[in-house]
Amino acid sequence: MYDLIICDGRIIDGSGLPAFVGDVAITGGIISQVGGRVTGPAASEIDARGQVIAPGFIDPHTHFDVQLLWDGQARPSLEHGVTTVVPGNCSLTLAPLKAEHRQRLVRMFQQIEEMPDAAFNGAFEWTWESFDGYLEAITRQLSINVAPLVGHSVIRLWVMNDDAQKRAATPDEITQMQDLLRQCLTAGAVGLSTSFVDVDHNLLPVPSRFAYLEEIDALGAVLGEFGRMLQVVPEFYNTDITIARVDQLAELSIKHQIPTTFSPLFDSSAMPDNVTRVLARVDEQFARGARVWPQVQTRPIDISFNFDMASLMFAATPAWYMVMRLPHDQKIDVLKNPEARAQLIEAAEPGGDISRFAELRVRDSQNPDLIGRRLGDLAQERQTTPANTMIDLSLEEDLQVHFLAANMGHEDPTRVGPIIARERVHVGASDAGAHIQSFATYGDTGYLFSEFVREGGYLSLEQAVKKLTSDTAQIWNLPNRGLLRPGQAADVVVFDPDTIARDEEHPVNDMPEQGMRYVRAAIGIDTVIVNGEVAYTHANGYTGSTSGVIATQPVQ
């Protein structure tokens, strides 16, 4: 008897081949038959007429490291059709980590990924130090598959302690890092993540940025023993340096026979030739035999922020950033002080042209009629500047008014569509699980289908599914995933190709201690199956299944 039959759907198997109508049968968490009419009894059936049956989507750039400890469903990724996530990007992970370094790492997560106190405080009991101990903690109630990276910064911190953010490593310390990385990879890490741009809460470079090439090369050698991934955050704000990083990754890839990936790569009017030049170098390095995969997100970058919390919006303007880190009452005192306020205005408007910002959300609003209005328009009406208007509105609302900086990258879909469609562009960089109070880092999958398949026609339905499934599984060497084939893991999504999209951003209070975050719900996803068990349905929501596994392990 089959456990489940998905009947009469339009099967897109992840290979890129044309769709065909048929059934998919599942037994024991494994796909047992694909195509044709499956005969024989089944414990349950799903009618997929008029819908697509596809492999579960894989998200290669997330920061679910913390959230998985209090939400094994990784909400809302499952409802976007994602069945496997890769956390641990940008050099940061929760293991391996000594107890005395925990708060230091928490502050790094809060600075770099804008994670609030509520995501950590009271959310979980920190019982591990080793990487396998962390994996044991997250797999107790896991509804989604996880292919975790291990962070270079924490490996450095473990071996070098305070010196991790002061100097290059000695040969003995590099050997210790190699041994530690080897332990993490043996436990199930899918690779190593590092960063060349991030800073900690004191605006000092994170530990990975103190590594010389000799150290990265030595760690690459260990990755080569396992055939695992090296993920990098390059200096994405500078095209020449990004190209140099592509060359560096290519040499490591060829020397150690490993896949490498870098993110983000995004199109911007501020650097109009950035993507063209970087992808040209990627093509050159692939021709040499290197594997250097650029990650491109599908959606534009929309950042929501308010004055009550420090935000990446202010990171490039120290005068503003330091004020935003003050306690609430001190912050208000500074903003009310005429001299201090004048200095802030003079220090340059944060984030560039703030007249583009729209007032987005207001709690207990005194100005409900202003929601959605642009600051530039409001400033004209008030006969002042956009920056003054932003400060005035914040003070009127006790700093709780939120503003939206829209389309800060990927602002032109007609430029992004051809980029996404390129064979060597890896769909990723969703950042899901991070920036949860600043912008909704979800919806890349739905946006791909709605914007670049249905509307723009840059990819076929089959090509888009392949990007999100078998391409990603092959790039990351995830065994038995990414295809609807007998013997593969039964990760399956059933969706409506005519409606699949991302919904509007909305707040939810599902963090411990009622911490608020912003998410985008999915449209058009009917059913999501993880290792043979239904994890989410549009009709009934999350099922509470615990069929998720560490996806680096082969399916039995």
Question: pLDDT tens across 274-308, in order?
Answer: 999 999 999 999 999 999 999 998 877 666 677 87
430 and 388 fall within a common domain: no
252 and 135 fall within a common domain: yes
pLDDT at residue 120 in the model? 77
Domain membership of residue 535 (yes or no) is: no
What range does the domain containing 174 cover? 58-302+408-495
pLDDT at residue 331 in the model? 92
In three-state secondary structure terms, 487 is coil
Domain membership of residue 45 (yes or no) is: no
295 and 396 fall within a common domain: no
Domain membership of residue 122 (yes or no) is: yes
| 462-484 mean pLDDT | 97
The last residue of a domain, from among 471, 495, 519: 495
With residue 13 as reference, give the H or E element that holds it.
none
The last residue of a domain, from among 355, 371, 405: 405
DSSP string, 221-272: HHHHHHT-EEEEE--TT-HHHHHHHHHHHHHHHHHHT--EEE-----BTTBT
82: nearest Cα among 483, 442, 425: 442
Q: Is 241 exposed, middle or buried (0-12, 13-18, 19+ CB in 10 A)?
A: middle
135 and 265 fall within a common domain: yes
Average pLDDT for the chain? 88
| 532-556 mean pLDDT | 91
Q: Looking at residue 312, what DSSP letter applies?
A: G
pLDDT at residue 440 in the model? 44
322 and 399 fall within a common domain: yes
236 and 189 fall within a common domain: yes
Residue 550, beta-bridge partner list: 146
| 72-82 mean pLDDT | 92
pLDDT digits (tens, 9 = 90+) for 10-43: 999 999 999 999 999 999 999 999 999 998 899 9
| 537-549 mean pLDDT | 95
361 and 453 fall within a common domain: no
417 and 399 fall within a common domain: no
The last residue of a domain, from among 405, 423, 440: 405
Domain membership of residue 467 (yes or no) is: yes
- Residues 209-233 as b/e (b if ≥16 CB within 10 A, e otherwise) read bbbeeebbbbbbebbbebebbbbbb
Question: Tokens 């704000």 sit at which residue?
Answer: 237
| 369-388 mean pLDDT | 82
Residue 76: asked if its preceding bond is cis (omega within 30°), the reply is yes
Domain membership of residue 230 (yes or no) is: yes
326 and 224 fall within a common domain: no
Q: Is 347 exposed, middle or buried (0-12, 13-18, 19+ CB in 10 A)?
A: middle
| 125-143 mean pLDDT | 95
Q: Looking at residue 378, what DSSP letter applies?
A: H
DSSP string, 413-448: HHHHHHHHHSTTPEE----BTSSTTTS----HHHHI
Is 80 exceeded by the pLDDT of residue 242? yes
Residue 142 sits in a domain of what CATH number? 3.20.20.140
Domain membership of residue 486 (yes or no) is: yes
Domain membership of residue 141 (yes or no) is: yes
Most confident of 72-86, 409-423, 441-455, 507-521: 72-86
76 and 205 fall within a common domain: yes
259 and 341 fall within a common domain: no
Question: Tokens 């290669």 sit at which residue?
Answer: 60
Q: Taking a C-beta distance cutoff of 8 angstroms, is the pair 518, 534 a contact?
A: no
Domain membership of residue 551 (yes or no) is: no
Structurally, the chain folds into a number of domains equal to 2
**Helix-strand-coil percent breakdown of the chain, rounded to 5?**
35, 20, 40
Is 60 exceeded by the pLDDT of residue 514? no
398 and 415 fall within a common domain: no
